Amino acid sequence: MILLDGTTLANEIKQNIKIQTEILKKQDITPGLAVIIVGDDIASQTYVDMKSRACDMVGIYSIIHKMPSNINEQKIVDTIKMMNDNDNIDGILVQLPLPANIDENKIIQAINPQKDVDGFHPFNIGSISLNTDGYIPATPYGVIKLLKKYSIKLKGQNVCIVGASNIVGKPLMSLFVNEYATVEICHIHTKDLKAHTIDADIVCVAVGKIGLITADMIKDGAVVVDIGINKDSDGRLTGDVDFEAVSKKCSYISPVPGGVGPMTIAMLLENTIKSAKKRKTDG
């Protein structure tokens, strides 16, 4: 069994981004990322702080707009429009989830698709489906990058994705299809989950349920990508896979923490640099 080390690869990517940022700054372009966070969810605040520190590390300018949970929806839209018009901002992301009183789709669609570095705007989701140039959601992007780093075959492989969210499962399905893999996607209403995972060459799980994938659900030699992030009864981070048991049966597996998580932030930074380069070209 080989660990899919996302931490090391993410650090390599960040170092490359730092070099690209320095080159852009010499051309009077400082890449800029703006983040909106609504409410006081602790997990969301932690993620935003991590993104901010990562930006500082590679030289990307970042700004955080903190808003109360009871804010008027239109004020969020107005803030986004202001950043859409700001030439110094290359990337805009809204930290999800949003409070129940806010229409998530309306907020995401207010972002200029050319600055949607989270890749959640319908334009960019459509670009993935058509396999044309756009911004790929950071977590699915990170999964594919990680698998390719280890030269894991994707073409012709049977892939089972557990979790059909708009953020991870659905775009990841499109990315695998673009690599000519054969993909099926499972969700909360899937009957007999094991019947789908047991024959898969690659199993990706992003549900948020500790120990969902057990050793008897994985065939010998499968590749397992654990995208779930949970906290166990002792407060330790863990994924959706029974790591101890599954790791004895599979060929590759991503740990939690240290697997897909670090890749997500690295890919967000990469999308931001991509946008900054477009600003240079368009300018």
Q: Of 14, 20, 95, 226, which is the active-site residue?
A: 95
Segment 92-115 shows an average pLDDT of 94
Q: Residue 25 pairs with which residues in a beta bridge?
A: none
Q: Is 118 a catalytic residue?
A: yes
Location of each CATH 3.40.50.720 domain in the chain: 138-261
pLDDT of residue 42: 81
Q: What's the pLDDT at 112?
A: 96
Taking each helix axis as running N to C, give the angle between helix 42-58 and helix 6-26, from 0 to 180 degrees, rounded to the nearest 10.
Answer: 50
Q: Which of 14, 51, 115, 170 is catalytic?
A: 51
pLDDT band at 43 (very low <50, low <70, confident <90, very high): confident
Q: Which of 32, 36, 1 is nearest to 277 (CA)?
A: 32
Question: Has domain 28-112 been given CATH number 3.50.50.60?
Answer: no
pTM recorded for the entire structure: 0.93
- Is residue 101 pLDDT above 80, yes or no? yes
What is residue 155's predicted lDDT score, i.e. its pLDDT?
98
Is 51 designated active site?
Answer: yes
When the pLDDT of each residue in the chain is averaged and rounded to a whole number, the result is: 94
Q: How confident is the model at residue 81 (pLDDT cuts 50, 70, 90)?
A: very high
Exactly one of 90, 116, 118, 242 is catalytic; name it: 118
DSSP-assigned letters across all residues of 180-237: T-EEEEE-TT-S-HHHHHTT-SEEEE-S--TT-B-GGGS-TT-EEEE---EE-TTS-E
Q: How confident is the model at residue 205 (pLDDT cuts 50, 70, 90)?
A: very high
Radius of gyration of the chain (CA): 19
Judge whether residue 111 has pLDDT over 80: yes
Which residues of the chain are in CATH 3.40.50.10860 domains? 28-112
* Local confidence band at 40 (pLDDT 50, 70, 90 cut-offs): confident
Q: How confident is the model at residue 179 (pLDDT cuts 50, 70, 90)?
A: very high
Is residue 157 among the annotated active site residues? Answer: no
278 Cβ contact list (under 8 Å, min separation 6): 90, 114
What confidence tens digit (pLDDT) does each residue in 222-280 have?
Answer: 999 999 988 888 888 899 999 999 999 999 999 999 999 999 999 999 999 999 998 76
Q: Tell me the CB-side half-sphere exposure of residue 56, using CA atoms within 13 A.
A: 8
Question: 138-261 architecture in CATH?
Answer: 3-Layer(aba) Sandwich (3.40)
47 pLDDT band, cuts 50/70/90, is: confident
In the chain, % of residues over pLDDT 70: 99
Query: How do beta strands 32-38 and 61-67 pair?
Result: parallel
Q: State mean pLDDT over 191-219.
A: 96
Confidence of residue 283 (pLDDT cuts 50, 70, 90): low
pLDDT, tens only, 66-75:
999 999 999 9
Following DSSP, what letter does each residue of 28-60 receive, concatenated?
T---EEEEEEES--HHHHHHHHHHHHHHHHHT-
